[in-house]
Structure 1
Amino acid sequence: MPHAARPTVTLHDVAAAAGVSVATASRVLGGSARKVAPEYEARVLAAAAALRYTVDAAARAMRRASDSIALVADDLTTPSMGMVVAAMEREARAAGAFVTVSSTMGAPERQLETVRLLRALRPRALVLTSRRFMANALGGRLLKELLAYENEGGRVVIVGETDMAFDAIGFDDFGAGRSAGAFLAETGHRRVAIFAGPRELRIVSDRTAGFIAGLRAGGVAERDIRTVHCLVSRQGGFDAARRLAAAGMDGRQAVLAVNDIVAIGAMSGFRAAGINVPEDVSVTGIDDIPLAGDVTPRLTTVALPLAHAGAEAIRFALGEPAGLAEPAGLAKPLGLAEPAELAEPAKSHVPRRLVVEGRLIVRASTRARA
C-alpha cells in the first residue's frame, strides 16, 4: 500500500518553528555571506532538522541567475573568439560568477532576440562580443532593449566597435595592420599582396587600410600593393594563394593576411603549388592564435591580447576598475565622450572605453629581402 506523501515543509515553517524572520532563516539555510547571530543560526538549523526541511533546488537555481554573466557572441567556432570566451569564463569563475554563452552568427535579429530572452532570465551582466554594435541597428530596437536591461539593474559590456554609451573594449585593427605592413616594408619587400575578406566587414577594412598605410610609409609604391578579397577562412587563404601562384606570383614577395587563419591557409596553398615560405614569399597574419606558433614555418603575426580583453570585459561587468594586466603599450584608455555626443540618454555611470593594441611577433614565415 503506498505511503501518503510527506507534507511539504517551507522556509516559512522553519522560520516560525525557530522563532525568527523568514529573512534570517533564508540567510542561514541559503548560505548567505551575511552573518547571523550564533543563537539564531542554531535555532534555525535545529528547526530545519526537526521538520526535515530540504532546500528548493529549483528556486535556488533561479536565484543564481543574479550571479551569472551572459555572453552573446557572433561565432564561437573561430580560434580568436575561443580565446576570448575561455578568458571570460576563467575570470568569472575566479570572481564567483559563471558564464553562459549564446551564438548569434552576427545576425542583428538574432542578437535582439537573444538579448530579449536573456533579459527575462535577469543575469547580472550581459557581455556582447561582436565587431560592430551600432545604436541605429534595427531602428534602435537593440539599443532600447539594452537600455531597459540596464535600467532594471543589469550591466552591459560590449567587446568590439560601438557608438552606444556602454562600457566597451575595442581592438586597434588599423594599428595592427600598419605594424605588419611597416615590418614588411622595412625588411625590403616591395611587391606585396593583401589577402583581405569581404569589403563590408569593418575589421577587414581597418586592417587592410593599416596594411597599406604601413607599406606606403615604408616606401612601397601604391601600384605594387595588390588587394585580393577572399573568404575569411583557411580555405579562403588557400584558394587565394593557389590563384596567385597560378598567375606566376606576379612578382609578389610577400602576403599580408587579414588574420592568422587566412595566413595559415595561404601557406598551405603556396606549399601545394610548389612555392616555398619564406624563401619565395613571406607570409604575415594578425591575432596570434595558438596554431600560429605550431605551424611550419611558424607564423609571423601581430598578437592582439584577446585573452586579456576577455578578462577585462568580465572586470567591467563586475564593476572593477579598468586596466589590463598586460605590459605597457598593449592597452590604452580612450578619452570618454561628453554626454551630448552619446547615442542614448545620460546614464548613472560614465561608460568606460578601452582599446587594446597589438604587438609584432617575428617568426620564421618571413625573411628579409635584398
Structure 2
Amino acid sequence: MPHAARPTVTLHDVAAAAGVSVSTASRVLGGSSRTVAPEYQERVLAAAATLRYTADASARAMRRASDSITLIVDDLTTPSIGMVVAAMEREARTAGAFVTVSSTGGTPDRQLETVRRLRALRPRAIVLTSSRLDADLVGGRLLGELRAYERDGGRVVIVGDTDMPFDSISFDNHAAARALGAYVAETGHREVVILAGDVARANVTTRATGFIEGLRAGGVAPDSIRVVHCEVSRRGGSEAIRGSLGGFTDVDAVLAANDLIAVGAMSALRAAGVSVPADVSVTGFDDIQLAVDVMPRLTTVALPLADAGAEAIRLAVREGTEPAHLTMSGHLVVRDSALPRTRPR
C-alpha cells in the first residue's frame, strides 16, 4: 500500500521556524556567496533538518541566475535620475550585484504591470523611485504585488514619499524650499513668480508650498506671489515664461521647482531681452550638473541624489527585517543667477 505523501515544506516554513527572513534562509540553503551570521546559519540549518526541507533544484538555479537589483523610475531622461542610477551602479558593484532599469512614465497602472512582470524574473531587490507612492494606488494592488514579491524572498526599497511598509528614502523638499524662499525674500525681492511644475507631481508641489512659506515669512506680500504650473522640463520653463511675459514689468525673481525648469526660464528671459540676474533673479532646485554649466550659474537647492542612490542599494542588500525610513535634507547653493535687490520697489 503506497505511503501518504509527505506535506511539502517550503522555504517560508523554514524561515518561520528559524525566526529569520526568507532571504536569509534562501542564502543559507541556496549556496549563496553572501555571508550570513553564524547564529542565523545554525538556526536555518537546524530548522531545515527538523522539517526535512529539500530545496527545489530548479528554483535554486533561478535564484542564483539573477543577482540583479531592478530600479523602476518614472522618467529615465531626467538628469536627477541619471545621478541616482550612476550611484546605484557604483554601490551595487561592491555588493556583487548589478542594476537594471525600467521606466513607467509615472502612471500607477504601468508601475503595477512592471512589478508584475519583474517578479517573474526574480530580481534580488526592487527599488522604486517616484515623487509619491501610496498604499492605495490602483486599489491597493501595487502594494499587494510588492508584498507578494517580498514574501518570495525579495526586498523592496522606495525612493520618494510613501506610506508603504517597506524600506524608504525621502527628501525634505518642503524645508529646503522654504529656506530658498526665505533667502530670496531676505535679498530684497518683492515681486515673485513661482514656476511650480505639474500639480500632479507631489515633490514639485511640496516645493512650491515651501517657496511660498519662505517668501511670506521674509515679508513678501501674498498678492505679490504668482504661481504658474508647467511641464516639469526645460521646455516647460521656457513656455511658462513666454506665456507670462506680458506681466513681467515688476517681477524681480523667478523660483523654479527644479533646475530644468529654471534653465528653460532663463533661456526665454534672455530671448525676450530680460537680463538674468540684473533684471530678474532665477533659482532652481536639485543641483544637477547643468546648474553649473549654464551662464549665469544657477542658484539652487542641492539634494543628495547620489547619496540616496547608494543608500538605496545598501538597504536592498542588508540583512535587517524591520523597514528603515530615512529622510535626506537639501541645502541652499548660492551662485550667480540671483542678485540682491537694493533698488526701491
Inter-partner Cα distance in structure 1 for 2:302 and 2:314: 22
Map residues 323-338 of structure 1 onto 2, 5 A cutoff: none
Retained in 2: the 8 A contact 1:192–1:253?
Answer: yes
* Structure-1 residue corresponding to 2:295: 296
Retained in 1: the 8 A contact 2:204–2:258?
Answer: no
SS of residue paired to 2:284: strand
- Kindly tell me: are residues 274 and 158 of structure 1, through their superposed partners in 2, closer, same or farther at Cα, counting changes over 3 Å? same
AA at the equivalent of 2:160: G
Inter-partner Cα distance in structure 2 for 1:84 and 1:73: 10
Shift of 1:279: 0.1
Shift of 1:124: 1.1
Inter-partner Cα distance in structure 2 for 1:197 and 1:100: 28
SS of residue paired to 2:203: helix
Inter-partner Cα distance in structure 1 for 2:133 and 2:32: 39
SS of residue paired to 2:248: helix
Give the alignment's Cα RMSD to 1 decimal.
Answer: 2.1
SS of residue paired to 2:80: helix
- Kindly tell me: are residues 359 and 31 of structure 1, through their superposed partners in 2, closer, same or farther at Cα, counting changes over 3 Å? closer
User: Structure 2 unaligned runs (5+)?
Assistant: 1-30, 36-58
Retained in 2: the 8 A contact 1:195–1:227?
Answer: yes
* Structure-1 residue corresponding to 2:69: 69
* Structure-1 residue corresponding to 2:186: 186
Shift of 1:177: 1.3
* Structure-2 residue corresponding to 1:311: 310
SS of residue paired to 1:150: helix
Map residues 358-369 of structure 1 onto 2, 5 A cutoff: 358-369=330-341
Inter-partner Cα distance in structure 2 for 1:32 and 1:255: 54
* Structure-1 residue corresponding to 2:129: 129
* Structure-2 residue corresponding to 1:264: 263
Greater Cα radius of gyration, structure 1 or 2:
1
Shift of 1:81: 0.7
Retained in 1: the 8 A contact 2:62–2:122?
Answer: no
* Structure-1 residue corresponding to 2:242: 242
* Structure-2 residue corresponding to 1:13: none
Shift of 1:62: 4.6
Retained in 2: the 8 A contact 1:258–1:285?
Answer: yes
Inter-partner Cα distance in structure 2 for 1:272 and 1:61: 60
SS of residue paired to 1:287: coil
Map residues 85-164 of structure 1 onto 2, 5 A cutoff: 85-164=85-164
* Structure-1 residue corresponding to 2:168: 168
- Kindly tell me: are residues 61 and 286 of structure 1, through their superposed partners in 2, closer, same or farther at Cα, counting changes over 3 Å? farther
SS of residue paired to 2:188: coil
Aligned length: 290
Moved over 3 A (4+): 30-34, 59-66
Inter-partner Cα distance in structure 1 for 2:33 and 2:220: 65
Spell out, residue by residue over 1:194-250, the C-alpha distance to the aligned partner (whole angstroms, 9 max, x if none). 0112222211220110000000111111111111111111111112222333x1514
Please report the TM-score for the alignment, with normalisation by the length of structure 1.
0.75
* Structure-2 residue corresponding to 1:222: 222
Shift of 1:64: 4.2
SS of residue paired to 1:194: strand
Map residues 267-282 of structure 1 onto 2, 5 A cutoff: 267-282=266-281
Inter-partner Cα distance in structure 1 for 2:98 and 2:197: 35
Inter-partner Cα distance in structure 2 for 1:146 and 1:33: 24
Retained in 2: the 8 A contact 1:300–1:361?
Answer: yes
Retained in 2: the 8 A contact 1:244–1:250?
Answer: no
Inter-partner Cα distance in structure 2 for 1:351 and 1:61: 28
Inter-partner Cα distance in structure 2 for 1:32 and 1:142: 31
Inter-partner Cα distance in structure 1 for 2:65 and 2:301: 38
Map residues 11-22 of structure 1 onto 2, 5 A cutoff: none
* Structure-1 residue corresponding to 2:5: none
AA at the equivalent of 2:180: A
Spell out, residue by residue over 1:278-313, the C-alpha distance to the aligned partner (whole angstroms, 9 max, x if none). 000000000000010010000000000001001100
Please report the TM-score for the alignment, with normalisation by the length of structure 2.
0.80
AA at the equivalent of 2:278: E
